[in-house]
Amino acid sequence: MTTNATIAVLPGDGIGPEITAEARAVLELVAQHAGHSFSFSEHLIGGAAIDATGQPLPADTLAACRDAHAVLLGAVGGPKWDDPNAAIRPEQGLLGIRRELGLFANLRPVKAQPLFADSSPLKPERIAGVDMLIVRELTGGIYFGQPRGRERDSDGTGEERGFNTMVYSESEVRRIARLAFDAARKRRKLVTSVDKANVLDTSRLWRSVVSEVAGDYPDVTLEHQLVDSCAMRLITAANSFDVIVTGNMFGDILSDEASVITGSLGMLPSASLGVPSGDDALPRGLYEPIHGSAPDIAGRGIANPLATILSAAMLLRHSLGLAKEAAAVESAVDAALASGARTSDMLSTAESGSGQASQALSTHEMGALVCKELQQQL
Ligand code: IPM
Ligand code: MG
């Protein structure tokens, strides 16, 4: 069956344009070989958008994303726009698009690959078998709660105060919990819900709603864990997790921690999903690598495009319903790696110390190799 899809590409800043170009080429190849029709349009976001328009999320970018079946994003931010006190910042583009498209669920799969074991900061036995999915609530909690702001002398002491509000409603917790339980059903059937229920009221609500949702999933085991001890368990026993579900800020922090322990940050994709809509009930989504804009290597054509290519695979699976094609892209990446292909980040980490001298591929060479492998798969 032919799928017609509109895909908005937001290259963003730093290495964003280089890596999204390779992921787009992979998607074009999928369309061509599997008989689908994808139409692409590119738009500004983040620092690039601030420079061109004064806004991190210009109206025409948002309109194009609203009209698209899926959004493929590179990365936003860089030293040029780094002043945290600036009123307009690249990150607002990302937060704005999540809010405006209702992308409430952020999925970050973290899987250890033996290939990268050497570059993990942890002992090999600690990362062997790590295979988890972090489900982070993305449009609520303290990152979006009101009131927020800074005010001077509100209490007559002459001091300035800064404040944010951590708030979750039952329905917000329920929908992210359901998504996590549904995901666990297709995996090892364990959900770890992470909160700070010993201190925070919002966490106590979180815990009770997640427990209530668990009643509908008798085949899935639920455990609750406090965020501080979860941070430790990620270091000591990461392979004991299957699906982690948590709120916005805890998920932001824990997912960065989890992604670095596998030693393969340049390989990790993510999906941010909205509420399914339309006849086929597929969620709209935004897909991006977990790593950032890497300004230090931007424009040199040496960035690793694999996390973005794997994000494109998630796009095919989650927003276009093309599971077979998604698996083909993932196999093509595996095949490229199995053939010994490495970008420079992998050589400086995965193979330093092993004494093996391999030649680093450029961003485009790695993308082209994945395309070549993909032709065998499709
Ligand atoms: C992420 C990023 C963003 C977040 C920033 C850039 C706003 O760190 O996607 O995790 O904190 O959500
Ligand atoms: Mg983050």
| Mean pLDDT calculated for residue range 314-321 | 97
Nearest CA to ligand 1 atom 6: 91
Ligand nearest, relative to CA of residue 136 = 1
Vertex 289: Cα angle to 359 and 63 (nearest 5): 135
Computed over every residue of the chain, the mean pLDDT equals 94
Give 335's contacts (C-beta < 8 A, 6+ positions apart).
373, 376, 377
Report which ligand 1 atom has the smallest distance to the Cα of 138: 12
Report which ligand 1 atom has the smallest distance to the Cα of 95: 7
Answer whether 94 contacts ligand 1 (Cβ < 6 A). yes
Residue bearing the bigger pLDDT, 192 or 125: 192
State residue 352's pLDDT score.
47
What span, in angstroms and rounded, lies between the C-alpha atoms of 299 and 58?
Answer: 24
Give 270's contacts (C-beta < 8 A, 6+ positions apart).
106, 107, 108, 287, 288, 289, 290, 311, 314
Instruction: Supply the pTM of this predicted model.
Output: 0.94
DSSP β-bridge partners for residue 160: 152
What span, in angstroms and rounded, lies between the C-alpha atoms of 172 and 209?
Answer: 10
pLDDT of residue 228 exceeding 50: yes
82 catalytic? Reply is: no
Of all residues in the chain, what percent carry a pLDDT higher than 90? 86
131 catalytic? Reply is: no
Contact call for residues 249 and 208 (beta carbons, < 8 A) = no
**What's the DSSP call for residue 72?**
E
CA of 336 to the centre of ligand 2 (A): 28
* Residue 255 pLDDT level (bands cut at 50, 70, 90): very high
Ligand nearest, relative to CA of residue 248 = 1
State residue 353's pLDDT score.
45
State residue 354's pLDDT score.
47
Answer whether 286 contacts ligand 1 (Cβ < 6 A). no
- What's the pLDDT tens digit per position in 87-122? 999 999 999 999 999 999 999 999 998 888 888 999
* Residue 280 pLDDT level (bands cut at 50, 70, 90): low
- What's the pLDDT tens digit per position in 135-147? 999 999 999 999 9
State residue 61's pLDDT score.
98
State residue 85's pLDDT score.
85
- What's the pLDDT tens digit per position in 20-73? 999 999 999 999 999 999 999 999 999 999 999 999 999 999 999 999 999 999
State residue 346's pLDDT score.
87
CA of 73 to the centre of ligand 2 (A): 15
User: Which residues surround the ion ligand 2 when the cut-off is CB under 5 Å?
Assistant: 252
Asked whether the CA dihedral 109, 308, 286, 84 is positive or negative, the reply is positive
Answer whether 257 contacts ligand 1 (Cβ < 6 A). no
Which residue ranges form the domains of the chain, and what is each CATH number? 1-103+284-378 (3.40.718.10)
* Residue 199 pLDDT level (bands cut at 50, 70, 90): very high
What span, in angstroms and rounded, lies between the C-alpha atoms of 61 and 314?
Answer: 22
Q: Pick from 95, 135, 252 the residue to mutate for probing ligand 1's pocket: most ligand atoms within 8 Å of its CB.
A: 252
Residue bearing the bigger pLDDT, 350 or 334: 334
State residue 47's pLDDT score.
97
| Mean pLDDT calculated for residue range 256-262 | 92
| Mean pLDDT calculated for residue range 274-301 | 90
Answer whether 91 contacts ligand 1 (Cβ < 6 A). yes
State residue 308's pLDDT score.
98
Of all residues in the chain, what percent carry a pLDDT higher than 70? 96
What span, in angstroms and rounded, lies between the C-alpha atoms of 232 and 253?
Answer: 12
Q: Among 196, 242, 287, 345, which one carries the catalytic annotation?
A: 196
